Amino acid sequence: MSFLRLRDVSVEFPIYQASSRSIKKLLLASSTRGNIARDANDRINVRALSRISFDVADGDRFALIGLNGAGKTTLLKVLAGVYEPTSGRFASSGRVSSLLDMNLGFNFDATGRENIILRGMYMDIHPREMRERAAEAAEFTELGDYLDMPVRTYSAGMIIRLAFAASTCTPPDVLIMDEWLTAGDAQFLEKAQRRVESLVRASSILVLASHSLELVQQWCNRGILLHQGRAAMIGPVEEIIASYRRLVESGIPPDSSLEAADG
Amino acid sequence: MSSSESVVNFEAGETTALSAGSDRILEAAADLVDGLRRSWLWTNLAHQDLKLRYRGSILGPFWQTITTAVMIGAMGFIYAELFRTPLEDYLPLLAAGLVFWQFTSGMITEGCTTFYSVQGIIQQVKLPLSLHAYRLVYRNLLILLHNFAIVPIVFLIFPKPVVWLQILELGPGLGLILLNGVWVSILLGMISARFRDVPPIVASIVQVLFFITPIFWPATALGEHRWLAEFNPLYAAIDVMRAPLLGQPTELYSWLILAIVTVLGWAGTFVFFARFRARIAYWA
């Protein structure tokens, strides 16, 4: 049984590189950002996620929606086990496969084929076991002779194909996807969608972050609406989509107490 | 979902509220063990690193072997003269010294890149972080094996009575250096991921150390200032690998210094790793 469980999960980024001054300006200029504060050492902290709690159970197709900077990608990284929460608890069970940033984890000097094997290794699959699946994944990309060329010669679309095919070559228990997938061309997107559908059938959990309400409606049954790093709403997908529409139109998040946070 | 509570509770200094201390120690230990268990992964990755680094080159990793050979040839004649040492004594010392220095210093300078050079992986999948240190150390061991080809050649040109029993001593010496390589790459990797000024600082220090460590000159040349070499852990590292090859006794203090460095280094690194391991993904 796979599951994802978050209890009061918060994530804070200390910002080292930027000067305090310019970050302050950023804070004043922007209203969609999360919370920015100083700690005891006068260091700048960005609170990307604030006290998020929810459960994703076997069979769930869980959507993350929210405006830019609402914390979707950070939450995906927590779910993928990449970011350990700075406070709160996160627990999960099942083998996770994450499609977060298509450029991440590729070796641009290696060929497409080698990168498929490489991606498999990073997903804990031994190259021996990977051989058959890699051939199938290579087939799926429809990249032909490009598969034997270094990835640095690829176009953005080709990289998406490769990343997608490699990461989905074996059904994970938990599939975590960021919205980049929607950047593929229409023909590939349709094909990818079929593959994800079969993967989701085979795997137990899908978590998808997207701006495409259509895609979310089509693929997901539950979800979370993130607003400024907080859970503005968690529930059935129709309800969170409706809230998201209201948020976009009027700027009012469903939980009015959130307004106080802006002050 | 109400989040009204969270509004008030966002206060300064709360970032340190990671998991409890004992959890952190267990998680750090689990990371080190899980990483080691995935030897198939880090050996494969290290082999691929080398393959890609030298793709399109005919001699591949042997280029560095040739560079080292040229350096030994060029330096050998001049410094043998300067130190007034017979060539047949000086060249084996220089060859073994340079080969082992490149191995040791390579792990230190590359150790700075342990984590940030693989930030794409760290940000994408959850894997034991120690894996990247094992990969780096193993990769440097592979490079050493290529480079080592020079040593038997020099020994063929200047035949020396080989004390076979003593060559066995190379095993524990090399093992100890590899063990130290792991903590060095974890420690420097973490510090460098957080403070990007560290790699150039380390590079300059290593360069200085090359000249002040008895690598291309015998420690005996220091005369009464021999303690300068005796307290240098890098000399100890070179000595435990080189002396068995040259048929000389390894200095007892070399083992002693190295044992102290291994214990202190691992202890310090472990504390540091336990405390900041969860932060590496944020830094990288």
Q: Do the domain assignments include residue B11?
A: no
pLDDT for res A177: 85
Q: A42 pLDDT band (50/70/90 cuts)?
A: low
If one counts the domains in chain B, the total is: 1
Instruction: Give the Cα separation of B196 and B116 in Å (integer).
Output: 10
Q: How far apart are the first and last CA of chain A?
A: 43
Is B5 part of the contact surface with chain A (CB cutoff 8 Å)? Answer: yes
- pTM equals 0.85
Using DSSP's 3-state secondary structure scheme, residue B222 falls into: helix
pLDDT digits 0-9 by tens, B180-237: 999 999 999 999 998 889 999 999 999 999 999 999 988 888 888 888 888 899 999 9
Instruction: Give the Cα separation of B93 and B73 in Å (integer).
Output: 12
Pairs from B31-39 (Cβ < 8 Å, separation ≥ 24): B31/B128, B31/B129, B31/B130, B31/B273, B31/B277, B32/B128, B32/B130, B32/B273, B34/B128, B34/B130, B35/B127, B35/B128, B35/B129, B35/B130, B35/B131, B35/B133, B35/B134, B36/B130, B36/B134, B38/A124, B38/B127, B38/B128, B38/B131, B39/B134
Which of A148, A230, A259 would you mutate first to test chain B, the one with the most B CBs within 10 A? A230
ipTM, 2 dp: 0.80
pLDDT digits 0-9 by tens, B36-89: 999 999 999 999 999 888 887 888 888 888 999 999 999 999 999 988 889 888
Q: Do the domain assignments include residue B5?
A: no
Nearest residue of chain B to residue A232 (CA atoms): B1
Q: Which of B9, B13, B44 sits opposite A121 (nearest CB)?
A: B44
Is A129 part of the contact surface with chain B (CB cutoff 8 Å)? Answer: no
Instruction: Give the Cα separation of A205 and A200 in Å (integer).
Output: 7
CB A137 within 8 A of CB A118: no
Percent of chain A with pLDDT over 70: 82
If one counts the domains in chain A, the total is: 1
DSSP strands (E only) in B67-212: none
> Considering Cα of A203, then A166, then A185, then A77, what sign does the dihedral take?
positive
pLDDT digits 0-9 by tens, B120-160: 889 888 899 999 999 999 999 999 999 999 998 998 888 77
**Nearest Cα to A96, choosing from A188, A170, A35, A198?**
A170
pLDDT over 60 at B264, yes or no = yes
CB pairs under 8 A between A and B: 116
Q: What angle do CA A170, A174, A175 make, to 5 degrees?
A: 70
Q: Do the domain assignments include residue B53?
A: no
Residue type, A28: L
- Asked if B121 and A105 come within 8 Å (Cβ–Cβ), the reply is yes
Q: Which domain holds residue B181?
A: 21-46+60-283
Q: Which of B1, B10, B55 sits opposite A231 (nearest CB)?
A: B1
Residue A94: how many other CB atoms lie within 10 Å: 17
| Smallest Cα distance from A100 to chain B, Å | 6
Q: Which of A40, A232, A234 sits opposite B13 (nearest CB)?
A: A40
Q: What angle do CA A38, A44, A49 make, to 5 degrees?
A: 90
Q: A103 pLDDT band (50/70/90 cuts)?
A: low
Tokens of B186: 């974890």
For the CA atoms of A9, A84, B272, B115, the dihedral, rounded to the nearest 10 degrees, stands at: -150
Query: Measuring CA to CA, how many Å separate B54 from each of A110, A114, B47, B48?
Result: 11, 15, 11, 10
Tokens 């340190």 locate to B16
- Asked if A80 and B125 come within 8 Å (Cβ–Cβ), the reply is yes
Nearest residue of chain B to residue A128 (CA atoms): B40
**Nearest Cα to A103, choosing from A151, A146, A169, A172?**
A151
Nearest residue of chain A to residue B132 (CA atoms): A122
- Asked if B125 and A122 come within 8 Å (Cβ–Cβ), the reply is yes
Q: Listing from the earlier edge strand, what are the strands of the sheet with A3-15?
A: A35-38, A44-56, A3-15, A87-93
CB A203 within 8 A of CB A1: no
Tokens 């793709």 locate to B55
For the CA atoms of A99, A102, A104, A105, the dihedral, rounded to the nearest 10 degrees, stands at: 70
What is the secondary structure of A135-198 as a DSSP string? HHHHHHHT-GGGGGSBGGG--HHHHHHHHHHHHTSS--SEEEE-GGGGGS-HHHHHHHHHHHHH
Length of chain A: 263
| Smallest Cα distance from B66 to chain A, Å | 24
- Asked if B6 and A110 come within 8 Å (Cβ–Cβ), the reply is no
Is A31 part of the contact surface with chain B (CB cutoff 8 Å)? Answer: no
Which of A13, A27, A39, A256 would you mutate first to test chain B, the one with the most B CBs within 10 A? A39
Instruction: Give the Cα separation of B51 and B135 in Å (integer).
Output: 14
